[in-house]
A and B are shown apart, each in its own frame.
Chain A
């Protein structure tokens, strides 16, 4: 009876496997064509020998993949397995968001992309040598998104130590975040899980799930399978209990014994996983133990994937270009302070930032993605709330070797001193002004309670204003995010200040520094000019003229009728 069941199971599994294989396409034999396409389109980053050492690699982080080790981050296969050909094809087609790898869907034909897949496989002999196809991750037991699953995932996130790298709320600001290096010794930052648009393998739940089962090869992100750090072998409830025990200041003897049992269970499961990788055959009971452990891994991973999914919006918010400008909203009376709930009523405007590569020193590998801004104003003042993610809180304890300046986190908000009159009137140069001066609010993490007013006519020609203290400031750094609140009077006495008036469209731009990323001076992230306006209070005339016109038209109709009637008579 039992044998028959096993045979049936194997038949079903075999069938499933064939279906999966049929779905994923395989690359053709490597050819001259693949080499040609590779050298024209890929070699400048990945190197002619596939070592990830093309001439452009120097200034890139994450570094281009070294194909000679067979380690691929984004796979649909289990931990320690090679990628499917389809995985490689998909990466080439879609690219890797948050890195310099673009998608080639529009620039290389489907055939060319397959040729490239075949060619890059020649850089690693393991592809030729492996006789069995890679084991794919099974997506069938998907636990669909629910509040309960998110809650379970949230618990696991803490219990399994995800916090250590990815931080309390997922902004990639864990305590070990600044210390991480990849397999090649290059610095690597844990993903900011609140910015799904930077996930290398995409932000959908299945993609996130695959990263847990398969790991991200070559990076410090571990795979669930066979990793005692991630409680391989323990159920969700057991994981929770173990983490409870370990968080106690002191364990009783019974508790010690309990936690010891958990470790024994994990060790046994991890050993089996290792045996399996080495090709040692498992006995039926061992196989059962391993299968049970994997079942739990899959369950945990779906909960975690749902939790990670809950942390970020579906895609990057629309940037504040075109008519989607930053509109400061009018309030009667006092403006809200930094922690006031009134800010929640406003939607923030999203300003993406890019590395400054115009003037030396340049920043080719930015770590700050964007700044989000809200604003209120009243009859006399304007208040802004700026938030931006930075994985590290750097306050200038270290100095930059080249410039001798302190390495610290900072934000600068830039306006022209005088608003250009009309669309053709010149603006100051977008990067700290030029012939025409800019007016800056410069905030630094080493002096978080103050914003300095600066006038600049270019990056090397900036002057701290003599008259300071016109700005009120509050700021805070929590869980990988800075919040900066600034308030100023609409009008000031200082001629070097920008004077604000409702309804006037004012150019605005940003610069931001992440000290831990070596940002200093012009090595920073920045934006080009955007627009900001104190949104005028809608005129009360809108309640006067329309009814007036309606009544008038009615009067006209009656008048017309009277005229016609008199004529008819």
Chain B
């Protein structure tokens, strides 16, 4: 078998590593890799190849040999013609695809969980600082299980009369209005939601709704109502109890270390 020329090997390495990055790593193994990252890796590989072939004069000449042959050798006339057609054709298609590409709308760099204000309020009344506020009914969980159950049940009623249209029967953000809203309603069954936030944060998001978000949360897009206009302060705390009771997730606390 004829040995592959150095040039062919380099070409195979280049195309092969691009294919691995684009299709194998970014697709089969993980999510697609951004084009800029692939370009960076390819740059490194090209530099490595250039370093390798320029270490010795003989290697460099060996590398250039097939190019020379293709360009000048009369025995390589067919290959020369193929190259003279393929390269311009490729460039023609590539530039056309770039110029004729239709523009797509810019994506929204929305922060789904922006920082809350320092002070938690209901309507205009201050409840406390965001850091320290606790659910006033949470202590019943230990002190008075019956009272706790009553609050959870009330939270359940509030939830299914107001929230489930979007956040879903199963609290998974898949209510029957949900799929037509942008941004999508929160999924409380997601392990990254309830355990990452304090109850005060939830109170703030519920009470002030979409319009109460800072600009980073794109308040103009969210269909979350300002629930303090519809619900009492106690009802909001109750529905928060229900969220953790139903899902089994604990809200984040900054209590004493156990």
Contacts and interface: CB of A to CB of B under 8 A. Distances in A.
B145 to A, nearest CB: 17
Contacts of A546: 91-93, 95-96, 99
B111 to A, nearest CB: 10
A557 B83 contact: yes
A561 interface: yes
Interface stretch (A214-222, A269-277, A400-408, A528-536): A528-536
B61 to A, nearest CB: 12
Contact of B223 (A358, A541, A542): A358
B160 A44 contact: yes
A41 interface: yes
Interface in B121-175: 156-157, 159-161, 164-165, 168-170, 172, 174-175
How many chain B residues sit at the interface, stated as a range, is 35 or more
Given A554-B88, A564-B71, A565-B72, A542 B165 contact: no
Given A422-B106, A538-B100, A55 B160 contact: yes
A55 B161 contact: yes
Interface string A161-184: 000000000000000000000000
Contacts of A533: 103, 105
B36 interface: no
Contacts of B88: 550-551, 553-554
Contacts of B108: 423
Given A539-B99, A554-B84, A323 B91 contact: no
B254 to A, nearest CB: 31
Contact of A56 (B164, B181, B182): B164
B91 A59 contact: no
Interface in B174-210: 174-177, 179-182, 189, 209-210
Contacts, number: 151
B87 interface: yes
Nearest to A555: B88
Contacts of B211: 429, 434
A566 to B, nearest CB: 10
Nearest to A97: B176
Given A100-B165, A561-B71, A553 B106 contact: no
Nearest to A431: B223
Contacts of A564: 68, 71-72
Contact of A505 (B106, B160, B209): B106
A343 B183 CA distance: 32
Nearest to A527: B180
Contact of A323 (B104, B210, B218): B104
A549 B71 CA distance: 20
Contact of A41 (B104, B170, B177, B210): B170
A55 B170 contact: no
Contact of B160 (A56, A430, A539, A553): A56
A545 B100 CA distance: 11
Interface in A90-127: 99-100, 102, 104, 106-107
20 contacts: A40-B246, A55-B157, A56-B160, A56-B161, A56-B164, A100-B176, A107-B189, A327-B102, A353-B180, A357-B165, A427-B218, A429-B220, A430-B221, A434-B220, A538-B102, A539-B100, A546-B93, A547-B92, A564-B68, A564-B72
Give the 7 A-B CB pairs with smallest separation, nearest first: A550-B88, A56-B160, A107-B170, A44-B160, A423-B106, A352-B180, A550-B92
Interface of A: 40-41, 44-45, 54-56, 58-59, 99-100, 102, 104, 106-107, 319, 321, 323, 325, 327, 352-355, 357-360, 364, 422-424, 426-431, 434, 436, 503, 505, 527-529, 531, 533, 535-536, 538-539, 541-542, 545-547, 549-551, 553-554, 557, 560-561, 564-565, 568
